[in-house]
Amino acid sequence: MAEQYVHPLGVKRVGSSYTIATRMLRHEDMNGSDRLFGGRLMEWIDDAAGIAARRHAGCSITTVAVDTLEFKHPAFLNDIITIEAWVTHVERTSMEVRVDTYVENCATGERNMINHAYLTEVCIDENGKPMPVPYGLVARTTEEHAECEASRKRADLRRMRRREGI
Ligand SMILES: CC(C)(COP(=O)(O)OP(=O)(O)OC[C@H]1O[C@@H](n2cnc3c(N)ncnc32)[C@H](O)[C@@H]1OP(=O)(O)O)[C@@H](O)C(=O)NCCC(=O)NCCS
């Protein structure tokens, strides 16, 4: 387990980074099988994660890693896509951001989860070098505490994977 780092400007709540984006699927978002093009969704996920991370840190950030990207449900023309993102864990220079994506069929009102992804965003200085995340993260609700606990485990797993090159 990494040593606890003390952030210089104190802490922010999980809700400070909460970001929501809604889009209606257009022809240019489709792939050759008339479904949502996965690469387009990846761009939107990265965008939402970047906004959430900037909201938390208030400085420049960059994406260093994306895990658990799955496409569990298809999306079609005119469906509504909702993307929700928030910071779940803060380490020294990096933050974990969770991004949940849903598809909604307006005609039926049916809503399904497409994906939940975890992205690692790193704070960078004017030279593009990692710098400390200015704010720590405070969890208030039982759900936030559980997510934070799971995030620590994921961070340990990422470190182990990098150490062992897997
Ligand atoms: C992000 C970047 C500045 C990090 O630089 P670096 O020399 O690897 O820095 P470090 O090894 O000190 O890592 C910085 C932080 O990122 C984390 N990190 C690095 N690689 C990681 C990975 N593959 N997965 C998860 N976290 C990672 C480290 O754990 C560290 O976090 P911590 O300080 O909170 O413990 C550098 O890798 C970079 O510029 N990458 C390109 C990013 C980019 O351009 N993204 C846009 C899409 S291409």
Q: Mark 126-162 as b/e (b = at least 16 C-beta within 10 Å).
A: eeeeebbbbbbbebeeeebeebbeebeebbeebeeee
32: Cβ contacts below 8 Å, ≥ 6 apart: none
**Mean pLDDT computed over 100-122:** 94
Pocket flag, ligand 1, residue 62 (CB < 6 Å): yes
| Closest atom, ligand 1, to C-alpha of 133 | 34
Q: What percent of the chain has pLDDT over 70?
A: 98
Distances in Å between the Cα of 59 and the Cα atoms of 51, 52, 87, 131 are 11, 11, 14, 10
Q: What are phi and psi of 107, to 5 degrees?
A: -65, -40
What is the pLDDT at residue 3? Answer: 60
Pocket flag, ligand 1, residue 94 (CB < 6 Å): yes
* Residue nearest (by alpha carbon) to ligand 1 atom 45: 63
What is the pLDDT at residue 5? Answer: 72
Pocket flag, ligand 1, residue 121 (CB < 6 Å): no
Q: Which two tokens stand for residue 36?
A: 């949502």
Asked if pLDDT for residue 2 goes beyond 60, the answer is: no
**Which of 51, 52, 47, 50 minimizes the C-alpha distance to 13?**
52
22 C-alpha vs ligand 1 centroid, how far in Å? 29
What is the pLDDT at residue 6? Answer: 75
Sign of torsion over alpha carbons 79, 116, 21, 110: positive
Pocket flag, ligand 1, residue 151 (CB < 6 Å): no
| Distance separating the N- and C-terminal Cα atoms of the chain | 19
64 C-alpha vs ligand 1 centroid, how far in Å? 5
User: Where do the structural domains in the chain lie, given as residue ranges?
Assistant: 11-164
57 C-alpha vs ligand 1 centroid, how far in Å? 16
What confidence tens digit (pLDDT) does each residue in 38-64 have?
Answer: 999 999 999 999 999 999 999 999 999
From edge to edge, which strands make up the β-sheet containing 61-67?
19-24, 80-90, 94-104, 111-123, 61-67
C-beta neighbour count of 12 within 10 angstroms = 21
CATH architecture of the domain 11-164 equals Roll (3.10)
What confidence tens digit (pLDDT) does each residue in 9-26 have?
Answer: 789 999 999 999 999 999
C-beta neighbour count of 3 within 10 angstroms = 5
Q: What are phi and psi of 48, to 5 degrees?
A: -65, -40
